[in-house]
Structure 1
């Protein structure tokens, strides 16, 4: 089970025109927004990356606006883990073992990052309704390969309520409203 004390949310490359071209793009974006809002309420740290933003554009507005105080990490390698100096240093400094992975594209950046995180000893929780690729087939191939590498598959709602733990208090009321939206 994931906990707020041992989890980080990783949002990979939800940017530019590509974000609108992926399979089921509106639902993916909506689920990532829900994850960000819930993680903010629960105090779970968030890392956001952008693949070559000069060419591909920046993180889409609905997500970027929620992350206004955090600048996305720029990268050119497909795997976030290739950046030892910034990404891996930041992740290690958080001292958390569970990584909720979401973003695009499932069969490229999500896949390569997830496999390397597993190799580094992290517990990867792939948020299947918050990842996508340009084609449904590539999305499915990526999810299958990531699961085979050792990741746990979860929906955004499953992860949110697993972090929440109990159906009481202000956090529960706020998160219930987010999930119902």
Structure 2
């Protein structure tokens, strides 16, 4: 087994597994019912500085397309759009209301109100930037409330790979589930007989872009 895969396996099987994962009711099985997709701050001014920005947005765009097919509500935020610009067009979120914020967490008043109209979902699929800032703060807020948080590792990033690495490691310690774009798509449909499977399958014709995670996890 190549060293990079051995290191990755060691890291993912390390004893930082969330305590709740031993409770069969909370193993992190995704469901289309009661889930929300959170799209965090994928804005124009971040483009030149975020590691793997284009691929991160590409993966997030697949998740957004899947959420529309499967009826999972998406929620979009923008960090200080006056200074950092609008959400990038390739995300495909032009029809969504972008909630402007200055706080690092996405859990601002407008988002909380939107969640109430959705009858307070319990599962959150989180992607965007930056991993150690707005993604982390959002996840901590949700975890403190007892919510289930799924961080899509190949759809989150930071300017620094070091910050991204330790943010994901830290979030795992706090009880978030780390996953990937394609894993989310497959877990949501569960069965090739699912009425929307063929539409979801089309989103996976090309493998998700590599965002440097393998080399990255071998560092731990």
Fold in common (TM above 0.5) = yes
Give 5+ residue unaligned stretches, structure 2.
1-28, 207-220
Q: Encode CA deviations 1:80-135: one digit per residue, 9 max, x unaligned.
A: 12x2x311121233221000000000000000110111001210000000000001
Distance in 2 separating the partners of 1:15 and 1:97: 27
- What's 1:125 paired with? 150
1:141, CA displacement in angstroms?
Answer: 1.2
C-alpha displacement of 1:20:
3.9
Question: 1:80/1:40 Cα in 2 relative to 1: closer, same or farther (>3 Å)?
Answer: same
Task: List 4+ stretches of structure 1 deviating above 6 A.
Answer: none
- Tell whether the 8 Å contact from 1:20 to 1:26 is kept in structure 2 after alignment: no
Aligned to 1:61: 89
Alignment partner of 1:88 is 2:102? no
| 2:61 paired with 1:29 | no
Alignment of 1:1-181 (within 5 A): 1-63=29-91, 66-81=92-107, 83=108, 85-94=109-118, 95-168=120-193, 171-181=196-206
User: What is the TM-score when the length of structure 1 is the normalising length?
Assistant: 0.93
1:12-62 alpha-carbon deviations (Å, 9 max, x no partner): 000012134211122211100110111110000000100000000011111
- Over aligned residue pairs, what C-alpha RMSD do you find? 1.3
Deviation at 1:173, TM superposition (A): 1.1
Larger-Rg structure: 2
> Quick one: distance in 2 between partners of 1:33 and 1:14?
11
User: Any conservation in 2 of the 1:8–1:100 contact (CA below 8 Å)?
Assistant: yes
Question: What CA distance in whole angstroms lies between the structure 1 residues aligned with 2:114 and 2:87?
Answer: 19
Aligned length: 177
The normalised TM-score by structure 2 is 0.77
